[in-house]
Amino acid sequence: MPKKKLKFVENALDRSREYYKQYKPKYYLFEGQKGEQYSSSSAQRVLKNAVNKVGLKKHVVLHTLRYRFATHLLENGTDIRYIQELLGHSSPTTTMIYTHVTETSIRKIKDPFDNM
């Protein structure tokens, strides 16, 4: 397993363990109030509350997190093939849909003719 993927998995595992110790879920890692599986609408409500709490004005949905995760990985130099693996895509073409080219990334590109 690539080091970056391993580090991501280790961090996620550490956070999951902390969460588990604090909340002690019985069947699902994230349970609703009655111990049921957390619904997507409940998760969306939690995200919406968090977005409002920090004062973001953009419309954010759960899938936005997946897109941003992929984009940040790409911006930080992670190879598209690793991102593909992390997202569970069978094709890098699908992964490219998830990664957005930002103006910051474009500005970082060096013109090869500058070195001539």
Question: The whole model's pTM is what?
Answer: 0.60
- At residue 22, the pLDDT reads 93
- At residue 30, the pLDDT reads 82
Q: Can you tell me the mean pLDDT for 36-62?
A: 89
- Statement: residue 71 has pLDDT above 70: yes
**What residue spans define the domains of the chain?**
16-56, 61-109
Distance CA 95, CA 93 (A): 5
Q: Can you tell me the mean pLDDT for 85-89?
A: 92
- At residue 2, the pLDDT reads 59
- Residue appearing with tokens 């940040």: 72
